[in-house]
Amino acid sequence: MTRAATPKIGAYAGLAGVGLLAALVLGRAELAVLAAPFALVLFFGLALAEPPDVRVALEIDRERQVEGENVNASLEVRTQLPVPRLELLLSLPDGLESDAPNPVLVALDLDERRELEVPLRCVHWGAYLVGRVSVRAPDSFGLLAYERSYDLRRPLKVYPRGEALDKLLRPLQTLSFSGSQTTGTRGEGIEFADLRPFVPGDRIRRINWRATARRGEPWVNETHPERNTDVVIFLDTFAEARSGAGSTLDLAVQAAGSLAAHYIRAKDRVGLVAFGGVLNWLTVSSGVTQLYRVLDSLLDAEIFLSYAWKDIEILPRRTLPPHALVVALSPLLDERSVRALLDLRARGFDLAVVEISPVPFVEPGPDELDRLAYRLWLMKRDALRASYLQVGVPVVEWRQGDPLQAALEEVRTFRRHARVTRA
């Protein structure tokens, strides 16, 4: 433990010294009497000061939590010598808050062990290391303070809060593995498709007895098979619009987490491409493990300023499997991501763009010129959206507070009616 003198020790030493000196100069014993208590406090304070033997341990009840929920941190303090005053500060990174008193003050008796609960509120998603504990023990007279920092850091992953989605976007083509998506083809499945006359080889349980009785010959049900799909979530991390605690990246990560969870629940294979200053990708796969991989990758997503030009060419081929649905989550602020998405469409990928609108994060300036610039910027964004629609890419604007399901429905509607025309 490091020992530090408080301002009080200097003040008391000065007061005692001045008093004694004045007593000598003026030849009055009363002034020495006035200085004596201060000298006495100094003497006892320094003589009785002992570095406290404090041991601190930290436990966090879980390593993963969802944004907005609580995590309990338990600080165990143990000492062999009595400590009249012990201040404990659990340093919390931005994104974690505590309603409990922090720093907390305790008094420990001889060989006492105390457990302190510090409930942590996960305010913002992210990967954190929690557990830098600073201990400060002033002596009984407040003259010296013993300080020490304990590095007891534990990883804590706070995942973005997901949103309930009833219907997901479906790719135009499915894979050959079984899943939850009903295809347009005929085969073994559950969803009824049509009736046809019985042919040798058909299973008896497929016979539709009502139709057979009506027609006088055996008829069988035809069904649509259920297949899985590949979905690649394309996260634009080139630029973000930020205002206060929220940003377009926060919304994008939140949406990406929701989409990944729902697609994986539907037995689809999900991949992730974080396209920005730092490139990060996950090849498509399915299962709970993949979900956690995606979520962990999302926690690492950050805006990394870069002027280097990047296009789709730098992505490994297997990150974008053929027939995959690419759901892009982008504020459409950076030319590189805008071009990359158009490039994906040009390569024949089934692409849908959810535009994380930066408009709520931008305030028009006070004067007329600023407002004109703002209007021009909005018009430019409209033109950009139109250019996507022109090549058959649905672009929907999604704002903070709006349900993601509404944005997805808009894409579904577009895909239901839009057809690409080639001149």
Partner 1 sequence: MTATALRASPGVDRAELIAVGAPVPVVLLAGLALRWSGALTGAIVLLGAQQAVRLAIGDDVLDEWAPLAAAALLLTAELAWWSIEPRIPAWTQPRLALRRLTVVLLMCLLGAGVGAAMLVAAGSSLSGGVPLELAGILAATGAVALVAYVARRSP
| Residue numbers 135-174 binding partner 1 by CB under 8 A | 140-142, 146
β-bridge pairing 70-79 and 54-60 = antiparallel
Interface pick for partner 1 out of 68, 99, 105, 172 (rule CB under 8 A): 105
| Residue numbers 35-54 binding partner 1 by CB under 8 A | 35-44, 46-47, 49, 51
Interface pick for partner 1 out of 34, 207, 211, 359 (rule CB under 8 A): 34
Stretch of 105-113, 239-247, 278-286, 399-407 lying at the interface with partner 1 (CB under 8 A): 105-113
Sign, Cα dihedral of 238, 243, 244, 245:
negative
CB of residue 72 to partner 1, shortest distance in Å: 19
| CB nearer partner 1, residue 17 or residue 403 | 17
Interface pick for partner 1 out of 64, 95, 103, 180 (rule CB under 8 A): 103
Beta partners for residue 157, in sequence order: 64, 127
81 belongs to the binding site for partner 1 (CB under 8 A): no
| CB nearer partner 1, residue 113 or residue 375 | 113
Stretch of 7-15, 214-222, 248-256, 310-318 lying at the interface with partner 1 (CB under 8 A): 7-15
26 belongs to the binding site for partner 1 (CB under 8 A): yes
85 belongs to the binding site for partner 1 (CB under 8 A): yes
CB of residue 6 to partner 1, shortest distance in Å: 8
82 belongs to the binding site for partner 1 (CB under 8 A): no
21 belongs to the binding site for partner 1 (CB under 8 A): no
Interface pick for partner 1 out of 31, 266, 320, 332 (rule CB under 8 A): 31
Say if residue 197 is preceded by a cis peptide, omega within 30 of 0: no
Interface pick for partner 1 out of 66, 106, 342, 359 (rule CB under 8 A): 106
Cα(351)–Cα(392) distance, rounded to whole angstroms?
9
List interacting residues with partner 1 (CB under 8 A). 1-3, 7-8, 11-15, 18-20, 22, 26, 28-44, 46-47, 49, 51, 84-85, 87, 101, 103-107, 140-142, 146
